[in-house]
Amino acid sequence: MKEGPVIASVAALLGDPARANILTALMDGRALTVSELAEAAGVTLQTASGHLAKLDAANLLVAEKQGRHRYFRLSGPDVAQVLEALMGLAQRTGATRVRTGPKDAALRSARICYDHLAGERGVAMLKAARQQGLINGDKDLAITTKGRAFFADFGIDLAALEKGRRPVCRACLDWSERHSHLGGALGAAILSRMIETGWIRREAGRVLTFTCEGVEGFETAFARPGEDASQAA
Amino acid sequence: MKEGPVIASVAALLGDPARANILTALMDGRALTVSELAEAAGVTLQTASGHLAKLDAANLLVAEKQGRHRYFRLSGPDVAQVLEALMGLAQRTGATRVRTGPKDAALRSARICYDHLAGERGVAMLKAARQQGLINGDKDLAITTKGRAFFADFGIDLAALEKGRRPVCRACLDWSERHSHLGGALGAAILSRMIETGWIRREAGRVLTFTCEGVEGFETAFARPGEDASQAA
DNA sequence: CCGATGCTTCGGCTATGATCGAAGTATGAA
DNA sequence: TTCATACTTCGATCATAGCCGAAGCATCGG
């Protein structure tokens, strides 16, 4: 019986969705920075920082500092093994997803995540951009040639984004929707532009409110081609 | 990334100490009743009932009803595998124990668990009984011949206990101490006797208060032979 | 049938922990 | 040196979930 609570302390760490996402993101053996893991987990930098401190303290992760960057990787293959065993069990038992979405509909609909659009609108935007051939890739997103024209027309200075150090395109897990929305420099620039053009009105907190003009513009720009009931999956 | 939150829902179930203890108790493939699992987990029947409902709903356990008894067992070997993988990881990473003990010193010292003595006093009693040769066994406790004489002298009608359906001796995990205390019919009878003789005063809630007379009697009856600083482990 | 035992459900309590805004520290590049 | 970027820490908020007493339902045995 002595093993009971010891198991519980490790499992409790894995039982938080943000931390689970962080660990899963590291399963391929890569080392990622705090910022990258925050995006992968779909939480702010400060929240991710706290989670990483816990995982580090529990020796599930190993940290390496490179200048200003802090890289984390799994502390060993047994961590990945536990994750895989859990995945297998979850699949066999038909585990449903933890309901950890935001508490109200406004946040769920559209909110700011770090500096880009999240929520239903954010997920819909990335999905549309993929289906319109503006962006391709699954985890490693890239702008297509068609996309470059589209975003330039939208008012984004892509050259300036590419001059910066930040990745331009990044899939960022949306924790209310459980699919990705668009992060990275492009995601940030799009949100900034939407605020500039009056599509989105910033309010107190994280809620992003689409204006009437914004709803129209969004649906026009990010309508999904051939969208009908057969796309329900 | 999709696996993240699915993992989290399973891990969150394992991350509670009572539930972890329940699952660990079932690792040898046996089926146990709700009462037995409540004792194994060191919580009340009603709390265990709630936990078991969750584990059942998550398909980690399988339930069978036999008359008034409800038996639970693990739903498959992959559950045990996850638990073992977690044990290995916990060992490698030096996981510390989840601090889930009672909130105050009185409960920690002596309290009622189901119907027997728990807390520091309860653990000390079982330890002493073992060292005095009154009770032997690790998981399956049994009263020795020496123990029969001791408990009869203490005022316990062992024959009556053995006539009942309830196991006489049962190791029950003490969740504040993380060692076992004595459950089963004997544990209950001892507590009942201690209350009868004025050693223990029952108060509101679960706190059990030893009287001055009780402290003396307890130390006399359950002193550990050869107890000194070298026993600190 | 009645009392005992096994178990479930309800309701109230409260400790816990994830979250983010704000502020601060550390590092790198111009 | 200054500004930008990466990250950490603090404090406040509040939703959540484990806990048990009380009550009720189901089953068993005399």
Mean pLDDT rounded to a whole number for chain B: 78
Mean pLDDT of B172-201: 76
Q: Are A179 and A123 in contact (CB under 8 A)?
A: yes
Q: What percent of chain A has pLDDT over 70?
A: 77
* Residue contact B76–A92, C-beta within 8 A: yes
Q: Give A216's pLDDT tier (boundaries 50, 70, 90).
A: confident
* B47: closest CA of chain A, how far (Å): 17
Q: What does the alpha-carbon distance between residue B228 and residue B82 come to, in Å, rounded to a whole number?
A: 40
User: A3-93 maps to which CATH number?
Assistant: 1.10.10.10
Q: Give A53's pLDDT tier (boundaries 50, 70, 90).
A: very high
Nearest neighbour of B7 by CB, restricted to A2, A5, A87: A87
Phi, psi (rounded to 5 degrees) for B185? -65, -35
pLDDT of residue B182 exceeding 50: yes
Phi, psi (rounded to 5 degrees) for B41? -85, -15
Chain A hits for B92, Cβ within 8 Å:
59, 76, 78
Strand ranges for B19-169 from DSSP E: 32-33, 61-66, 69-74, 111-113, 116-118, 135-136, 142-143
Span(s) in chain A for CATH 1.10.10.10? 3-93
Q: What does the alpha-carbon distance between residue A33 and residue A14 come to, in Å, rounded to a whole number?
A: 19
* B155: closest CA of chain A, how far (Å): 31
Nucleotide nearest to A38 (CA to C1'): D7
Q: What does the alpha-carbon distance between residue B51 and residue B14 come to, in Å, rounded to a whole number?
A: 11
Q: What is the pLDDT of residues A140-151, one digit of tens each?
A: 788 899 999 999
